[in-house]
Amino acid sequence: MKSASSWSLSLCLLTTASAAAAADASLSAVQTVCAGLTCLVNPALQPFDVYDRYLAVLALEVVAVDVDRHTVGLVVRQVIKGEFAAHEISLTATAEAVAGAFQQLPEPGLAVVAFVGKGRGAATDVLFYAGGEGQWQVGAVRAAGDAAAPAAWEWTAVLKDEMYGTFNGHPAQLAAMLRDHAAGRGFFPAHAFTRFRPEQVLGTLAGPIAGVALYDLDGDGRLDALATSPAGCALFLQRSGLRFDDATAASGLAGVAGRSIGIADVDGDGRADLLIDGRIMRQGEDGRFALTTWLPPAADRGVVMSVFADFDHDGCPDVLVAQSGSGLHAWRHPGKGGGAYLEVTQDLGLARAETGAGKCGLFSFGNLRGDGRDGLFIAIDGGLLLEKPAHGGFAPTAMPAYDLAAPAGGRTGGGTMADIFESSRPTLAFTNERGVDLVDVATGQPRDVARYGNETVVVTPSCQGVIAEDLHAAGNLDLYAFGRAPETGGTLYVNRGYGSFMVSTRYQADAIPGRAHQSGAGGVAAGDVDGDGANDLLLGGLDGRLVLLVNGVLAERGGAEHPGRQESVLARTARLAVAVSGPRGVVGATITVLAAQDRVVTQRTIGGNPATGCRGPDAATLAIREPGDYRVRVEWSDGCRQLLPVTLVANTLTNLRAVRP
């Protein structure tokens, strides 16, 4: 059997559309290999360890490849550590052992990270990382070069398993990590630290649960739990001490059934209203929900999923509904004064075959590029990505040629758009029969980045949805994926940062106790239920059980007698809860934490985890690893902004409320 790193090399060097089929086969091989591995993380040798051992660390870029001469031209983009005089480097493959790998080097533009010189007796040693997927290379300096003359290096060997597990991701992300390390803010956990408390069953519905929500429906400051299924729905209001009371009948929801849940203040009266499939239920002063005629009966036929989304950016919650046999339909809020919604499916370009008309699947809505263009991902065929400028309708955007979305006979699943791969730019995460795919648009065109994600290759069978949330109070957005079959459990992909993930239960079998995580789920939502500053999980089981998993990750924080690097960073991490309110613009509002020079530390979007038709709170629970002074920018969906200064204290929760001015 090939080693995992050998499989990874063959995978990362396939960069053309013609290689897609071979790449897909290679991915399956990687997953097969990974399934038999104990881990894909080597805690004994991490990038910061390598950084400390070398005199100079360089961020490079390939500018030329001479295949005949086995020579690569590199430019120095940044000297991250130490001193290095040359601005250019000529790297020549001199050993027969690397000739085959050289022939497959990608085109110019590839990022390379190099570590140069280890002091006495090893001043000419070079270790470099090019191509990704855990493949490291070694060489030697033959001429140091200077500002006027390029340095000359030899590439002498490809390391096989020696460095695998040190870093298996994208080289540009390794460079970003080492820049952060040089600035004193690097964090790349190598030990699993997931910890959930025993599951708490809130109730059992008559059939498999589909949509779930964690939301403060009664306005008492505590998150409540709502679940729906084709057999009925249930509402559990939270009381003190994590006690939940069944308020289904008292709230007017007895006999209400559906597959999907959306929540927004539709009429601006300060109370949350419900979107159950294609029906809007208004909450009255007495807390009871009553069916409205704001959406016509046609909107409630064959519903697979529905959400509130402000696609015209006027601050009023519009509605998107996926309907079996007819595709995705859009309904616009009538604006101030309320009343009946207006169908605008055709106006938005969604009635055309090329935008998915007649086909139906789960979907996610958001701002994928961070430039104001709306993005819409629909889980049909191999995945359909649509984008809409400020004026005009949706149009298709080409998905990556390296397409992992729909294996033969498989289905694409629901997703989210969130800052997963980098902290300041959204990534599209969605699912397929094997697990999670990640698509990034940093280079302009969407590209697959899941293959650089380390343990994102770990399979979640029959995966139907994923949410992105920080489930470790560590500052990164983790991925929780869940399967649609009773025998397929969920997978928590822990975001280590810099595009690298680890699956915690491969290292801690009891990290998520109980059978809810190990069984299929119809819906998942995340939010801080107990108010400790760590996000909890609500799972809607295919067995009808509505299960709360309270996060226990903070219990062990700061207790180590001799903490290592990872424990020390976590012990000083501050927590910040930001609640957003207002008569309009809350759905789709963004929360951004800014450091000095407007550096984006993290951001969230209200309603950004629709999964299969689910909803989280109108709040974000964030972890900031460096205590100190920050600014929190809240932007409501119609562009209204508020900037809030905040001072964060180590290992302390700070609460902010942003009220629309």
User: Under a CB-based contact definition with an 8 Å cutoff, are residues 645 and 629 in contact?
Assistant: yes
**Backbone phi, psi, residue 237, to 5°:** -90, 130
Least confident piece of the model among 157-161, 205-209, 356-360? 157-161
Bridge partners of residue 633, in order along the sequence: 592, 643
Beta bridge partners of 280: 275
Query: Is residue 13 very low, low, confident or very high in pLDDT (cuts 50, 70, 90)?
Result: very low
What average pLDDT does range 1-24 have in this prediction? 30
Amino acid at 438: L
Query: What number of other Cβ atoms are within 10 A of residue 202's Cβ?
Result: 19
Which residue ranges form the domains of the chain, and what is each CATH number? 22-183 (no CATH), 200-556 (2.130.10.10), 565-659 (2.60.40.10)
- For residue 7, the model assigns a pLDDT of 28
Opening angle at CA 287, ends 285 and 288, nearest 5: 105
For residues 94 and 156, the answer to whether their CB atoms sit within 8 Å is yes
100: enclosing H helix or E strand: helix 99-103
Of 406-420, 467-481, 588-602, give the lowest mean pLDDT range. 406-420
pLDDT band per the 50, 70, 90 thresholds, residue 451: confident
Q: Is 67 exposed, middle or buried (0-12, 13-18, 19+ CB in 10 A)?
A: exposed
pLDDT in tens, 646-661: 999 999 999 999 999 8
DSSP 3-state assignment of 47?
helix
Q: Average per-residue pLDDT in the chain?
A: 89
Q: What is the DSSP letter of 197?
A: P
The residue that leads in pLDDT, 395 or 337, is 395
Average pLDDT estimate for 123-140: 88
Question: Residue 426 pLDDT > 50, yes or no?
Answer: yes
pLDDT surpassing 60 at residue 217:
yes
Total residue length of the chain: 661
Cα–Cα distance, 392 to 490 (Å, whole number): 39
Tell me the C-alpha distance between 138 and 115, whole Å. Answer: 9
- Note the pLDDT tens digit of each residue in 78-121: 999 999 999 999 999 887 767 666 665 667 888 999 999 997 78
> Quick check: helix, strand or coil at residue 525?
strand
* Residue 633 or residue 135, greater confidence: 633
Q: What is the pLDDT of residue 401?
A: 58
- pLDDT tier at 291, thresholds 50, 70, 90: very high
User: Parallel, antiparallel, or unpaired for β 574-581 and 653-659?
Assistant: parallel
pLDDT digits 0-9 by tens, 514-554: 999 999 999 999 999 999 999 999 999 999 999 999 999 99
Strands 71-81 and 56-66, sheet pairing: antiparallel
Q: Say how many C-beta atoms besides its own lie within 10 A of residue 519's C-beta.
A: 21
Residue 4: which pLDDT band, with cuts at 50, 70 and 90? very low
Residue for token pair 């239960």:
505
pLDDT at 131 over 90: no
Residues 6+ apart with CB under 8 A from 27: 11, 404, 451, 457
Sequential DSSP letters for 586-617: -TT-EEEEE-GGG-EEEEEETT---TTT-B--
**Three-class DSSP category at 83:** coil
Confidence bin at 9 (pLDDT 50/70/90) = very low
Strand order in the sheet with 212-215: 212-215, 224-229, 232-238, 244-246
Cα 316 to Cα 334: distance, rounded to the nearest angstrom: 8
Q: Vertex 329, ends 208 and 308: CA angle to 5°?
A: 65
CA distance 129 to 122: 18
Is the distance from CB of 545 to CB of 589 less than 8 angstroms? no
Is residue 26 scored above 80 in pLDDT? no
Phi, then psi, of 575 in degrees rounded to 5 = -120, 140
Q: What is the pLDDT of residue 514?
A: 94
Q: Break the chain down into helix, strand, coil percent, rounded to 5.
A: 15, 40, 50
- Taking the C-alpha atoms of residue 533 and residue 482, their distance in angstroms, rounded to an integer, is 24
**Nearest by Cα to 28 from 374, 398, 434:** 434
Q: pTM to 2 decimals?
A: 0.92
Q: Who's near 481: CB < 8 A, 6+ residues apart?
A: 431, 435, 436, 460, 463, 465, 466, 490, 491, 493
In DSSP terms, which residues pair with 141 in a beta bridge?
153
**Coil/strand/helix, residue 583:** coil
**Nearest-angstrom CA–CA distance, 97 and 147:** 32
Pairing of strands 545-549, 273-276: unpaired
- State the residue for tokens 């997927």: 133
Segment 196-224 shows an average pLDDT of: 98
Residue 5 has pLDDT above 50, yes or no: no
pLDDT class of 409 with cuts at 50, 70, 90: low
Residue 39: pLDDT band with limits 50, 70, 90: low
Dist CA 278 CA 309 (whole Å): 14
Helix (H/G/I), strand (E/B), else coil: 359: coil
Q: What is the signed CA dihedral for 157, 163, 167, 170, rounded to 10 degrees?
A: 20
* Helix or strand run (H / E) with residue 304: strand 303-309
Q: Which of 46-50, 51-55, 268-272, 394-398 has the lowest mean pLDDT?
A: 394-398
Handedness of CA 129, 132, 136, 139 (dihedral sign): negative
Mean of pLDDT values over 183-204: 96
Nearest to 31 by CA among 8, 50, 15, 58: 8
Which has more confidence, 274 or 380? Answer: 274
Strand order in the sheet with 279-283: 261-264, 273-276, 279-283, 289-291
pLDDT for 16 beyond 50: no
Query: For the segment 233-248, what is each residue's pLDDT rounded down to a tens digit?
Result: 999 999 999 999 999 9
On the question of pLDDT at 27 being above 70, the answer is: no
Percent over 70 (pLDDT), the chain: 91
Write down the pLDDT at residue 103. 60
**Overall average pLDDT of the 146-157 stretch:** 94
Residue 6 binned pLDDT confidence (cut-offs 50, 70, 90): very low
pLDDT number for residue 407: 55
